[in-house]
Chains A and B, each alone.
Chain A
Amino acid sequence: MLITTVLNGKSLRQEVPADKTLLDFLRENGCLSVKRGCGTENCGLCTVWVDGTPVLSCSYPLPRIDGHEVTTLEGVREEAAAFGAYMAGEGAEQCGYCSPGFIMTVLAMERELRNPAEEEINAYLAGCLCRCTGYSSQMRAIRKYLEKRHETD
């Protein structure tokens, strides 16, 4: 079927199989930051935004992006680098494989929650698994990043 979408700010019209996953579609369109960690909707690695809402691209029905905007890490590289610098400062990226999905979720959280407490942050990010870090360094990075953003606001 034919879909029209805006991918990372660029209009795209493409004939796609109805049952292709959004994840595969995105990778085929050059968004290689998008990773598949489980295929059962439990790891968060494949997180992208549809109209700014973080969703799992491994299961989001591809035809549903017709007429909507899709954003991957490639579309927010500057912001990702800004937050990512805090992750790097803590060693929190480790193997890095979960970083794109995690960062997309953190940036969505930043837009959605105002001054979230640690508990809220953990609840918001609970769907982002990481096997390397044990999460503490990620929280340190988030806190420092949000504090800095808060100061500059």
Chain B
Amino acid sequence: MASFQNYIFPESLEDAYELLQANRRNAVIGGNGWLALGRQKLHTAIDLSRLGLGQIRVGPAYVEIGAMATLRQLERELPGSLLACCVKPIAGVQFRNLATVGGSLYSRFGFSDPVTALMAMDTTVLLHRQGDVPIVDFVWQKPSRDIVLGCRVENNGRRAAYQTLRLSATDLPVLTVAVSRLGSDWRVVVGARPGKAMLAEEASRLLSEGKADAGTAASAAAEELSFGSNMRGSGGYRRQIAQVLIARAIEQLHGEGGLAIC
């Protein structure tokens, strides 16, 4: 467990932001999932749970997800959606009642299921100071001392198929794949490579231009992305199953399958 001397519920975002800047050892606490695992020595933990950031709003143009919305809320409030589907294997209900969307986004973990899924959608991350940042850029930004307010996903009918391989059902993934389609516009995203999720640009382009079938696009993606090894599998294996899972996801979307954001 991380240690900290103070624990503060700021009354406004500005207070929270100022507090975060006040000391390098101050940190925003999301669900506490990862802090509880670490041994960081913090000065002040900043709890955003009293700032109304725990809501999920479904509008005609956007779905807005507050940073303090829990992964379990995605399942309960967006049933049958892409996000509900992708968080199901994460640890357990009790964990998902803690873990927040903001925490998932800010941590930018390679193995993150929701980050992979959100990257396949038209997602903008909302930051207190920096403003709105497309998720593809956000994921590759160095974590800054800004506050993630949540994300906004276009409710535009884009559908995505989500595929993952896990050694056991509630384990971290060996690989995550989200392929999405809006009309002729395709997007192929691969996470848990084991590095951060990446957009397979070439494969996405081939599909969007109608120049590739599932197999060809999957091969292109496996070719253009890099894969590494960790305890759960080698880079070589990841490359092989990336092809398999991407092809399966594409087939699902060809078959009018796939899930929307809400």
Contacts and interface: CB of A to CB of B under 8 A. Distances in A.
Given A19-B3, A44-B92, A61-B29, 4 more contacts: A44-B94, A59-B32, A61-B47, A105-B93
A124 interface: yes
Could you say which interface size class chain B belongs to?
Answer: 20 to 34
A96 B142 CA distance: 46
Interface string B23-53: 0000001011101110000000101010000
A59 B7 contact: no
A18 interface: yes
A55 B1 contact: no
Contact of A55 (B6, B35, B97, B170): B97
Interface of B: 1-7, 9, 29, 31-33, 35-37, 45, 47, 49, 88, 91-95, 97-98, 169-170
A64 B95 contact: no
A146 to B, nearest CB: 17
A28 to B, nearest CB: 15
Contact of A61 (B6, B45, B93): B45
Contact of A59 (B6, B33, B47, B92): B33
B93 A64 contact: no
B83 to A, nearest CB: 16
A19 B1 contact: yes
Given A60-B98, A63-B7, A124 B93 contact: yes
